[in-house]
Structure 1
């Protein structure tokens, strides 16, 4: 579903961010993208989302190529940024979910159903600035899924969430995976998701340092400034996180 081949990326200022990145994500897979802060995770997600074009090399999403058809890639992907305040544009939950859509009976019903799935009906008409951080994160995810994407890209979805919020985020990841959605999820911390992912990709200095099933990768993540989950460090293998599935 997602293929990157010898991809390089530099910002217009000239700073090199990604170098010789090659990876593949199969349709319906849930893949963890991990690395220290500044390793290039957010930039890579933005490229896969079609927000940037590679400086060299190529990427493909569902057979649509970049460079070339970034618009086609954007039609297939939705990205939820780390900072929800940068992504929420509507004044209320209702306005944000209906933003850019004709206000038909079907559109309102679909938005209402999605809000119910994310437990946002109680704040349906509340100003978004009064929402908690976790509610804002859920609103961004609800808006992304309302578009019916083939690929969901999540940038640090567990950041800033409390225990119930992390538990709910895990549930939503599993639901999306079970529905056949392809997901690439970035994090600097493996603890909350390592038992859910099909594979891990470890970035270090803008390069893919490790990639493969968690069981093949976890022994080496410390070499790339990533802490393995506690259960792995204590010799217990990969255990379900305390929040459950």
Structure 2
């Protein structure tokens, strides 16, 4: 067990923190929802009822979609965009998808390479982009979930105010939807851009997201 925890410390650690934060959000969200219900003359809901509500779903989904948008854009952008001096960037002379030899695919793969990296053809082409495809798929699914849950919340408010509910396509054109969405997007893009630039000049000893403390500001990609 100790070896498993050591070898999987990042996934286990962040998984545990994620679950703790999600549970905390559930209780805090229920309390906030019930406060709003009481102020509007409505009835309180139980935790299970809140977890099944569109209010909880939209709050979770809008955060997930912005995070996976960040990962999707970063995975693809760093193929072509570089930042001199940043450990988050490839070397300046490796812009692009690189050669088969550099990527160890097809006839350049070794016996330990993943099977689809060795296969060539469409399988290697798909596997070569599988991380970006996965990030994009999760982003689109969570964005869709956010829009559906947000539509339910929005229409409930419309009915409470004696106004007509709207369809899903119409909701996608509502300012409230894009206000919530773009708030999350801009914060994630700012965070990624800041890390790429700050890591040129600042250090965190022992972190793979930082260059070694004594490395020149102009050194690109190197981490430790």
TM-score with structure 1 setting the length: 0.25
Larger helix percent: 2
| Larger CA Rg, structure 1 vs 2 | 2
Larger strand percent: 1
